[in-house]
Amino acid sequence: MAVRKPKVIVTRKLPDAVETRLRELFDTELNLDDHPMGPDELIEAVGRAEVLVPTITDRLDSKVLTRAGEGLKLIANFGAGVDNIDVATANARGIIVTNTPGVLTEDTADMTMALILASARRVVEGAGVIQSGDFHGWAPTWMLGRRIWGKRLGIVGMGRIGQAVARRAAAFGLQIHYHNRKPVSPRIEEELGATYWESLDQMLARMDVISVNCPHTPGTYHLLSARRLKLLQPHAIVVNTARGEVIDEAALANALARGEIAGAGLDVFEHEPAVNPKLLKLPNVVLLPHMGSATVEGRIDMGEKVIVNIKTFMDGHRPPDRVIPSML
């Protein structure tokens, strides 16, 4: 007798290999035209699904989750962050939430280093000069950027990604400093040659480059506030590949426009997909469309984690990547 397959609804287009495997294992409903689902569509989906596979842009707040059907037992998020999901409400309704941690570490760390280099050395600005036909030859004082060798990098959030950034940055000659809720182990500190700062304020005031690598939680909202941005040195560069909400984007734009901060490299924004209009006009900012984890390999790895979480749960076991509200 055939085993009944659980109803799985996927909110966005995923890599073909992932979608094919989902169809093989489950009664899977795909989003073939890849349109972002609005609140009404999400409510309709949670009303029918046994498993929902959302992405980080799908807002599963209490208004959506309180409309979930009794059959919905698992939300297998396609993404490491879960700030798009009201995990507490899900947990109260007996809905397990999982994510895809770990698989995007190296890709995001690569993009962080790319933004550090691009911001310090004015790479995008220089490319624009070539493309516009305004390159008229080399000059000794033209398009001068900043050397990163020997500079101090302050990492905000020394988790998997922060540590991966530190390893790359050390190879470029940067001195590693970090702020975290608590210090990493002495072994990791020694390996990375990292200096821990209990006070974020004190670290920010002394760094040449700041890299934001912490998750967005209620406690990290506007962690880099207008007040803290004023602590930065005028030659400092801010790079964010984590979540836009961690930085007060309006205050950052104002500081950059006034020359209070030398530059920024941003892959994420506070009100995505909207970007502060001031940032779009500034020459000292490198802006990317949230592509820090966008590699073929990374997306497939994410999909495989989603599948493992669903299959483990459906087999009656605890999913390996379950998110507990107390963890947030």
Residue 11's CB is within 10 A of a number of other CB atoms, namely 24
Q: Is 55 helix (H, G, I), strand (E, B) or coil?
A: strand
Residue among 29, 191, 272, 304 flagged as catalytic: 272
Take residue 57 and report the two structure tokens written for it: 């842009």
Which of 20, 11, 10 shows the shortest CA–CA distance to 300? 20
Question: What is the 3 state secondary structure string of 158-206?
Answer: CCHHHHHHHHHHHHCCCEEEEECCCCCCHHHHHHHCCEECCCHHHHHCC
Instruction: List all residues 6 or more positions away from 179 whose beta carbon is below 8 Å from its beta carbon.
Output: 154, 155, 156, 157, 158, 196, 197, 198, 199, 200, 203
Q: For this structure, is 243 an active site residue? A: yes
Q: For this structure, is 190 an active site residue? A: no
Q: For this structure, is 168 an active site residue? A: no
Question: What is the 3 state secondary structure string of 79-126?
Answer: CCCCCCECHHHHHHCCCEEECCCCCCHHHHHHHHHHHHHHHHHCHHHH
Query: Max Cα separation, the chain?
Result: 78
Residue among 243, 245, 249, 299 flagged as catalytic: 243
Residue 128's CB is within 10 A of a number of other CB atoms, namely 12
Helix, strand, coil percentages for the chain (3-state, nearest 5):
40, 15, 45
Which of 257, 207, 256 shows the shortest CA–CA distance to 236? 207
288 strand-pairing partners: none
Q: Is 238 helix (H, G, I), strand (E, B) or coil?
A: strand
Q: Is 16 helix (H, G, I), strand (E, B) or coil?
A: helix
- Integer Cα distance of 237 and 233 in angstroms: 9
Which residues participate in catalysis according to the annotation? Answer: 243, 272, 290
